[in-house]
Amino acid sequence: MTTNPILLLDNVSRVHGRDETAVRALDGVTLTVHAGELVAVMGPSGSGKSTLLNLAGGLDQPTTGRVVVEGADVGAMSLRDLAALRRRTLGFVFQDFNLIPSLTAVENVALPLELDGERVRKARRIALDSLEAVGIAELADRYPEHMSGGQQQRVAIARALVGDRRLVLADEPTGALDSQTGEDVLRVLRSRCDAGAGGLLVTHEARHAAWADRVVFLRDGVVVDTTGTPPTAESLLDAAGAV
Amino acid sequence: MSIRRGLLALLAQEPMYGAQLRSEFESRTGGTWPLNVGQVYTTLARLERDGLVERGELVEGADGADGEGRIAYCLTDFGRTEVERWWAAPVDRGDTPRDELVIKLALAVTVTGVDIVRLVQTQRTATLRHLQDLTKLKRATPEVAGEHGPDQQKELAWLLVLDNLVYAAEAEIRWLDHVESRLAREATRSPKARTADTASSQADRSTEGASR
């Protein structure tokens, strides 16, 4: 087992605007997500949660500090490499599912693979495996409008982690779901992390954050507290031995 | 928690002896409120005194004791009425329990020299850890769908108890969030602004007085 994190935010700051109108959205945040780990970020609106997620996903660049995904410094990448990183390494899950309505579940999940040049038949096979892993293989040929919110969110998780993608960035993934369905989605996310993925979950609901291994509290762009410490090589080995 | 009502409700199903009541109570509530046998027998003695239970007729042997010396209890008609009443009536929430955290915070805002922001953050982290532990217990309990045996029913009872604790912890965290933002808002009000507020409210009051 490697102890290199899937995601590393190293003393990251993000400032919007300049001089007097400058707003510090994030201020010196350091955060890691290892394989098999689900990390939750909690904070009120305006605390910098979305900025943090956008930086982690390469959708935005830090003003200072480094964002490292699977060992690669996102800040040093060309736009082309960045696009490839987003296709191959990580996936987003949003509150409103963001599935493409004209594609079936399996086509939605296969899309990032096909965009990356994978042959259609093979992409479909890998996508089916991913749907199987979130427990809805039987819905593969359904269109989003014929699925419940919870089912659509499972498809989104399957898409985020299809094939070799190992990092899922989830932005309030249960926001549009009722409490039981929301919990089911968290269970799926949790099980995908237990199976080896890394997850970064942004939420303002403590009940959902509690599914994570660690919860980081963000206030005004600063980490004010965290439950537990990031895993060390020893604790990871212990955990692997205990299973 | 009313052990009394709980035991009565169990006895409404079938006569039981003390140790059996204890283990049934605990397995149905997931061991969240552990009882000792002494508590169970004291409660049974009081229930018997009040005419709600009586020593069972179903047991073999003299003095209500069976071969192993256990005394089975069953409900009287009065006890049965009491159970019916319990199911039908809402639980009284008027009697607010003293919550140490609420008292602590109320005192912290009124005395000097307490870092209340730190206090709130420390508490929130601790409560969230507790919430994580509860969630781990939920994860360890498999979701049983489509089966309705007594074991599944007890599992469901346990999950519902856990959910109650989860929602209580979540409510505490939300309240602490609220306290934090309320305190932050108070802190940004300068003493000058506060004085102005007081002055204006006094002005309001004097206007009110004048209009009367």
- Can you tell me the ipTM of this complex? 0.81
What are the C-alpha distances in Å from A241 to residues A1, A23, B65? 11, 46, 51
What pLDDT, on a 0 to 100 scale, did the predictor assign at position B208? 42
Confirm or reject contact between A187 and chain B (CB < 8 A): yes
Q: How many CB atoms lie within 10 A of CB A228?
A: 16
- pLDDT tier at A238 (50, 70, 90 boundaries)? low
Q: CA of B175: which chain A residue's CA is closest?
A: A206
> For the purposes of burial, counting CB atoms within 10 Å of the CB of B23, is it exposed (0-12), middle (13-18) or buried (19 or more)?
middle
Does A228 contact B173 at a Cβ distance shorter than 8 Å? Answer: no
What pLDDT, on a 0 to 100 scale, did the predictor assign at position A36? 94
pLDDT, tens only, A181-204: 999 999 999 999 999 999 999 998
Does B124 contact A212 at a Cβ distance shorter than 8 Å? Answer: no
Q: CA of A184: which chain B residue's CA is closest?
A: B143
Can you name the residues that pair with A26 across neighbouring β-strands?
A14
pLDDT-above-90 percentage for chain B: 28
Checking if the pLDDT of B171 tops 80, the result is yes
Does B131 contact A190 at a Cβ distance shorter than 8 Å? Answer: no
Q: Tokens 């007085």 label which residue?
A: B209
Measured CB to CB, residues of chain B less than 8 Å from chain A are 121-122, 124-125, 127-129, 131-132, 134-135, 139, 143, 166-167, 169-170, 173-174, 177, 181
pLDDT, tens only, B109-136: 888 888 888 899 999 999 999 999 999 9
Confirm or reject contact between A228 and chain B (CB < 8 A): yes
> The pTM is what?
0.79
> For the purposes of burial, counting CB atoms within 10 Å of the CB of B86, is it exposed (0-12), middle (13-18) or buried (19 or more)?
middle
Distance from CA of B91 to the nearest CA of A (A): 24
Q: Which residue has the higher pLDDT, B211 or A45?
A: A45
What distance in Å separates the CA atoms of residue A198 and residue A196, rounded to the nearest whole number?
A: 7
> For the purposes of burial, counting CB atoms within 10 Å of the CB of A12, is it exposed (0-12), middle (13-18) or buried (19 or more)?
buried
Task: Kindly list the residues from chain A whose CB atom is less than 8 angstroms away from the CB atom of residue B128.
Answer: 206, 209-210, 215, 227
Distance from CA of B3 to the nearest CA of A (A): 29
Confirm or reject contact between A215 and chain B (CB < 8 A): yes
Strand order in the sheet with A38-42: A90-93, A167-171, A198-203, A38-42, A214-219, A222-227
Does A226 contact B131 at a Cβ distance shorter than 8 Å? Answer: no
pLDDT-above-70 percentage for chain A: 93
Nearest alpha-carbon partner for A142 in A130, A157, A156, A152: A152
Q: CA of B174: which chain A residue's CA is closest?
A: A206
Does A215 contact B128 at a Cβ distance shorter than 8 Å? Answer: yes
